[in-house]
Structure 1
Amino acid sequence: MKSATVKEIKTELNECSHQDLIELCLRLSRFKKENKELLTYLLFESGNEDQYIENVKNEVDEQFTIINITSYYFIKKSVRKILRTIKKYIRYSKNKETEIELLLYFCKKLKDFEPSITSNSVLMNIHNREIASIKKKITLLHEDLQYDYKLELQNLYF
């Protein structure tokens, strides 16, 4: 089955009644966990972005505490999983400040992680790649915010 384009879907949704839209959203939320998470964000958390950032940071903290530190192999797998989760939450928000805040927090947690990531090139590459990504994203913000985030970014270098 071929998927419809976004324009076709938009025009079809404009023709639906209010009750039909509710039923479509509920049906959509049954199929994939990400759809349900996105609807949860849009309905309950998009109004308070600061609380959303705090919730994501708490989840990241939990994930960092359960990392198996017996070998760097397990650490790398867990760090990649945490980063995937953060990027998923960033996609929900579409807010540049939220994106930078969460990535800065991830890099800070990674830098402070024990055992140190400096002895593992893959983990250092993940850290450096995210810092480079943050630098690019900071340039898109207002000058005052750029200054604040650049100060935070300076603390993340080894």
Structure 2
Amino acid sequence: MKAVSVTTIKKELQDKTDSELIALVLRLSKFKKENKELLTYLLFESHDEDAYIQLVKAHISQAFSEINTTSYFYIKKSVRKILRLIKKYARYSLKKETEIELLLHFCSCLMKLKPSIKNNTTLTNIYNSQITRIKKIAGNLHADLQHDYNLALNELIG
């Protein structure tokens, strides 16, 4: 079965009643965990973005505390997994400020990690690519926000 375009789906949804829409959304939420997570964000957390950011930051910090630091192999695997989670949570929000906040926190936690990431090329490259990504995203924001994020970034870089 081939999926139809978003435009076609939108037209079809406009013809549905409220109860039919509720039934469709509930059925959709049963299929994938990400669908349910997105609905949770949209219904319960999107009204307070700051609380959402703090919740995700706590989740990131928890994930960093659980990293197996016996070898750089396990560290790299865990760091990539955390980065995937950050991208997913940022995609739910669709706000660039949220993505920057989460990436800044990620970089901060990554720098505090023991053993140091400076001893591993891959981890250093991951860190540098996230710094570049933050700069790129911040470049598209309002000048005041750019200034604030650039200060935070300079503080992180040292």
- Length-normalised TM-score, structure 1: 0.98
Q: Give 1:112 deviation, angstroms.
A: 1.2
**Residue 42 of structure 1 aligns with which residue?**
42
Correspondence 1:12-23 to 2 at 5 A: 12-23=12-23
Match of 2:114 in 1: 114
Cα deviation per residue 1:57-102 (whole Å; 9 max; x = unaligned)? 0100110011000000000000000000000000000001101100
Mapping for residues 8-157 of structure 1, pairs under 5 Å:
8-157=8-157
Q: Secondary structure at the match of 1:156?
A: helix
Cα distance between partner residues in 2 of 1:65 and 1:99: 21
Q: How far off its partner does 1:157 sit?
A: 2.1
Q: Could you list the runs of 5+ residues in structure 1 that have no partner in the other structure?
A: none
Q: CA RMSD in A?
A: 0.7
Quote the sequence identity (%): 59
SS of match in other structure, 1:77: helix
Q: Which runs of 5+ in 2 are unaligned?
A: none
Q: How many residues align?
A: 158
Letter in 2 for 1:109: C
CA distance in 1, matches of 2:43, 2:112: 35
Q: Which amino acid aligns with 2:66?
A: I
- Give the TM-score of the pair, scaled to structure 2: 0.98
